[in-house]
Amino acid sequence: MPSRVDPSTVAQLVEVLTDPTNAEPARTFPRDRSAARKPGLYAWWADQEGLDALSRELKAPLPSSICAGLAGATHWPSGKKSTATLLSRIRGLHLQSNIRGSTFRHTLAALLAEPLALQIIGPNRLAPESEQQLSAWMKDHLRVVVCAYPDADTLGAMEDAILARLDPPLNLKGMVLSPLRRIIAERRYLLSHPT
């Protein structure tokens, strides 16, 4: 499993992902369809209204860049190639799927269940209307920055290096368990175990 990434490339990608002028509205993603059809990295940004809603639930202010991830990395240790692209991950899973298909959607649903009056119909399941409502909220309040990254074999290691630098508050896996992430984990647990 490749684990070494070039620090200068990490720095370049961090610069792109943290530049708000690179963020495009979720509603109209993708701006560059050919780049979106490749593997790569992405960072989610929230507008002020979206940040206010999330911050109220977490009882802590959030930075504008709230989450980051990847699409299309080789699966290690098997070496199995992924067919995912930035387009399929962002539009297909995050913006149009359901909370079972997207960790990011699951986290947003866990935090916004009460303010959006989302209807939970089972463990990790929202009513179809609530899934649509969550998608609409995301399209209204989120922007995304994408970076195509052609080396699928090192993409996972690159994501690890970038997450270590960015420390996005809504990312949980592989991140330090802060008080804020503890709240997110508790909310996600409640969504997985409705009463």
Gap between the Cα atoms of 76 and 86, Å rounded: 19
Q: How far is CA 106 from CA 117, 118, 179, in A?
A: 15, 12, 19
Average pLDDT over residues 34-43: 97
Domain count of the fold of the chain: 1
Supply 106's token pair: 């699951």
Cβ proximity of 184 and 170 under 8 Å:
yes
**pTM for this one?**
0.95
Residue 63's pLDDT is what?
Answer: 96
Nearest residue to 134 via CA among 104, 89, 171, 172:
104
Cβ proximity of 14 and 22 under 8 Å:
no
The verdict on residue 194 lying in a domain is no
Helix/strand/coil (H, E, C) string of 49-83?
HHHHHHHHHHCCCCCCEEEEEEECCCECCCCECCC
The verdict on residue 34 lying in a domain is yes
Nearest residue to 27 via CA among 94, 72, 85:
94
Alpha-carbon dihedral of residues 152, 153, 159, 162, nearest 10 degrees? -100
- DSSP, collapsed to helix, strand or coil, labels residue 161 as helix
pLDDT > 70: what percent of the chain?
A: 98
Residue 17: pLDDT band (50, 70, 90) is very high
Q: Would you tell me how many other CB atoms lie within 10 Å of the CB of residue 154? A: 20
Q: pLDDT tens across 86-141, in order?
A: 999 999 999 999 999 999 999 999 999 999 999 999 999 999 999 999 999 999 99
Average pLDDT over residues 19-38: 96
The verdict on residue 51 lying in a domain is yes
Look up residue 159 and give its amino acid.
Answer: E
- Look up the domain containing 181 and give its range: 7-189
Residue 43: pLDDT band (50, 70, 90) is very high
Gap between the Cα atoms of 38 and 135, Å rounded: 23
Q: pLDDT tens across 177-188, in order?
A: 999 999 999 999
Residue 2's pLDDT is what?
Answer: 60
Residue 47: pLDDT band (50, 70, 90) is very high
pLDDT > 90: what percent of the chain?
A: 95
The verdict on residue 1 lying in a domain is no
The verdict on residue 101 lying in a domain is yes
Which run of H or of E encompasses 159? Answer: helix 152-166
Gap between the Cα atoms of 58 and 106, Å rounded: 15
Q: pLDDT tens across 138-182, in order?
A: 999 999 999 999 999 999 999 999 999 999 999 999 999 999 999
Residue 1: pLDDT band (50, 70, 90) is low
Q: How far is CA 163 from CA 14, 149, 178, in A?
A: 9, 15, 15
Residue 192's pLDDT is what?
Answer: 92
Supply 13's token pair: 């990608």
Average per-residue pLDDT for the chain:
95
Residue 4's pLDDT is what?
Answer: 81
The verdict on residue 2 lying in a domain is no
Residue 110's pLDDT is what?
Answer: 97
On the 0-12 / 13-18 / 19+ scale of CB atoms within 10 A, 119 is middle
Residue 3's pLDDT is what?
Answer: 63
